[in-house]
Amino acid sequence: MDKHISEKVNCLIIGSGPAGYTAAIYASRANLKPVLYQGIQPGGQLTITTEVENYPGYPEGIQGPEMMVHFEKQATRMGADIRYGIATAVDFSSHPHKIQIDEEKWIEANAVIISTGASAKWLGLPSEQRLNGFGVSACAVCDGFFFKGKEVAIVGAGDTAAEEALYLSKLCTTVHMIVRKGQMRASKVMADRVLATSNIKVYWHSETDDILGENKVEAVSIKNNQTGELTTIPVSAFFVAIGHQPNSDIFKPFIDMDETGYIQTIPGTSKTNVEGVFAAGDVQDKHYRQAVTAAGSGCMAALDAERYLGEKGFH
């Protein structure tokens, strides 16, 4: 790989959700002259969320895409250099760090903040994409509130699916839970809790055949894997809880991760195993995955980067 360096920057931020933009705000104010590349989905997962009601400071709630526009404007006003482009490769084997953008240009950076986020895994049904934001959601904690007192469906069998089903059971009249096998992948304590909840109805050996509805979710068609029988259940929302995939592949040769690809940071910090490389937001957080926690970790990453650059004498 010819690494002809075409630009040198002090602080490079990769990714543009709440973590990346918050890091850019703090880094700009600390005069680190940050350059931020927005990545494949400028604004991150919030751009596919409609109403956000749980972010502090917005008493009336706000649309996810609008909120990300606010974050971006604030970062730009502070002096962040925000650009379109995707990081396609990195070389963290020596300092300064080298990052390839759009498979062509190489940048050198004294400090790197990785905030590439995670992407929800989907079932791959055309109706799921068509109704995404109109009753189809990959986050029960974000969107469950809008379906208070209604019947909903959730697909998944792990701890996240169990947690989200239990969360929904407190808000919704009935939660129809679709599980592909004859048992759950969730830990025994979580599975037992689900089975002990009277308004969660589990459909074993089942998968989603289709999500029905013209402009909003109206029903789900469930297929029994053993009998082939189809059942249609009227629901107002359909939650997909089959996991998230951290967007971390390009960092794998250099950065320590867990078995599913979440970047491991030194507890209580945003530091990775590579000096001068920091990680914030959902790419390193598989537990909370909220806008407010991502923003908080973006602040941590910028402060950690500022301290690092100061100690090393970079300006």
Supply the pTM of this predicted model. Answer: 0.82
> Residue 39 gets which letter from DSSP?
-
Catalytic residue among 2, 11, 81, 139: 139
Look at residues 113, 124, 100, 141 and name the one whose alpha carbon lies nearest to residue 239: 141
For the record, the structure tokens of 104 come out as 């062509």
Q: Are 298 and 26 in contact (CB under 8 A)?
A: yes
* Active site annotation includes 11: no
Which domains are delineated in the chain? 5-119+244-312 (3.50.50.60), 122-240 (3.50.50.60)
CA atoms in the 13 A half-sphere facing the CB of 226: 7
Cα–Cα distances in Å, from 272 out to 2, 159, 265, 301, 304? 26, 26, 5, 10, 11
> What are the residue ranges of helices labelled H in the chain?
18-29, 64-77, 126-130, 140-143, 159-169, 188-195, 291-312
Catalytic residue among 142, 172, 285, 304: 142
Q: Are 15 and 118 in contact (CB under 8 A)?
A: no
* Active site annotation includes 102: no
- Would you mind telling me the total number of residues written for the chain in this entry? 315
Give the sheet arrangement for strand 237-240, strand by strand: 136-137, 237-240, 151-155, 174-178, 200-203
Catalytic residue among 11, 143, 282, 304: 143
The tens place of each residue's pLDDT in the chain, 315 residues long, gives: 567 888 999 999 999 999 999 999 999 999 999 999 999 888 888 877 667 888 999 999 998 889 999 999 999 999 999 999 999 999 999 999 999 999 999 999 999 999 999 988 899 999 999 999 899 999 888 889 999 999 999 999 998 899 899 999 999 999 999 999 999 998 899 999 999 999 999 999 999 999 999 999 999 999 999 999 999 999 999 999 998 899 999 999 999 999 999 999 999 999 999 999 999 999 999 888 899 999 999 999 999 999 999 999 986
